């Protein structure tokens, strides 16, 4: 297979499934051959990203992801995407392991937000790991946004939605998700809310019936995956250093 891309997923599997579902759903296709060419790596046994970030003595997710990147590089994909925001903690190390462009999902999301909501007050909801390592916060600051991370009550609800409901039980608690968005909007005066975890993107896919503006990094990377794949199939060259 030529002119394909690689998806590094499994973190978690339901979030990766959501990405694939949206990818195929949004691809304009009238026959089998109209769909995109890609390889999916559903590496479900990658150690917990947040646990390692909060305590570096816990098993690191860098070695298995680096191995995935190196294995896939031998197949010569056009680009790769990692379907996990928190995994971008080691983005520089992972990109250094390959010459294949590795799309930076958080940076892409904030770049899109800057164009769409240039004067917004931004709310960020994510895992404790993503909050602790400032993956999104640094991007939001660099873009010049005023922002809020909510409070401990919000963080506890976010963690419960991600880990208790989606990861552990495989269920979507729409009421909890909508309440989090409402709190960020009403209490912390956020005009737009960044979904800084792919499980939150899964929540958005399953429960989009709310009135709040969100920046869904996974949804954005779906659209960009389709855009780049189409251009590559049509013989266009993409300067991945200038895509943000």
Write out the DSSP string of 130-172.
HHHHTHHHHHHHHTT-EEE---HHHHHHHHIIIIIIIIII---
Instruction: Give the per-residue pLDDT at 98.
Output: 98
| pTM of this prediction exceeds 0.85 | yes
For the chain, domains (ranges, CATH) are 5-105+219-242 (3.40.50.1860), 106-216 (3.40.50.1860)
190 is catalytic: no
Q: Point out the catalytic residue in the list 7, 11, 62, 84.
A: 84
Catalytic residue among 41, 53, 162, 197: 197
CA distances (Å), origin 182, targets 49, 150, 179: 27, 11, 5
Q: What is the pLDDT along the chain (244 residues), one digit of tens a residue?
A: 999 999 999 999 999 999 999 999 999 999 999 999 999 999 999 999 999 999 999 999 999 999 999 999 999 999 999 999 999 999 999 999 999 999 999 999 999 999 999 999 999 999 999 999 899 999 999 999 999 999 999 999 999 999 999 999 999 999 999 999 999 999 999 999 999 999 999 999 999 999 999 999 999 999 999 999 999 999 999 999 889 8
Residues 107 and 176 sit within 8 Å (Cβ to Cβ) = no
**C-alpha span between 21 and 15 (Å, rounded):** 10
DSSP state of 57: T
CA–CA distance, 200 with 158 (Å, rounded to integer): 8
Q: Do residues 160 and 128 lie in contact, with contact meaning Cβ atoms separated by under 8 Å?
A: no
Omega before residue 49 within 30° of 0, cis:
no
Q: Is 97 in contact with 168 (CB distance < 8 Å)?
A: no
pLDDT of residue 244: 84
DSSP three-state, residue 127: coil
User: Could you tell me the strand order of the sheet in which 102-103 lies?
Assistant: 38-42, 5-9, 80-82, 102-103
| Torsion of the alpha carbons at 217, 63, 8 and 238, rounded to the nearest 10 | 80
Burial label, 190 (beta-carbon count in 10 A; 0-12, 13-18, 19+): buried
Strand partners, 153: none
CA angle 81, 84, 88 (to 5 degrees): 80
């Amino acid at each position: 297979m030529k002119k394909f891309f690689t998806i590094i997923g499994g973190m978690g599997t339901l979030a990766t499934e959501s990405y694939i579902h949206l990818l195929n759903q949004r691809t304009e296709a009238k026959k089998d051959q109209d769909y995109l060419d890609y390889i999916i790596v559903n590496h479900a046994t990658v150690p917990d990203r947040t646990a390692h970030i909060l305590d570096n003595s816990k098993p690191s997710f860098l070695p298995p992801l680096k191995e995935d990147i190196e294995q896939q590089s031998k197949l010569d994909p056009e680009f790769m995407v990692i379907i996990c925001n928190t995994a971008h903690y080691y983005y520089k190390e992972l990109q250094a392991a390959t010459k294949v462009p590795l799309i930076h999902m958080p940076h892409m999301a904030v770049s899109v937000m800057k164009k769409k909501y240039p004067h917004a007050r931004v709310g960020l909801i994510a895992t404790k790991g993503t909050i602790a390592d400032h993956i999104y916060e640094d991007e939001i600051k660099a873009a010049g946004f005023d922002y809020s991370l909510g409070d401990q009550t919000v963080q506890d609800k976010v963690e419960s939605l991600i880990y208790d409901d989606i990861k552990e039980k495989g269920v979507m608690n729409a009421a909890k998700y909508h309440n989090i968005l409402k709190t960020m909007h009403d209490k912390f005066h956020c005009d737009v809310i960044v979904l800084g975890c792919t499980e939150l993107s899964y929540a958005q896919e399953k429960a989009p019936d709310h009135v709040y503006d969100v920046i869904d990094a996974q949804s954005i990377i779906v659209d960009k995956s389709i855009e780049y794949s189409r251009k590559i199939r049509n013989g266009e060259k993409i300067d991945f250093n200038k895509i943000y």
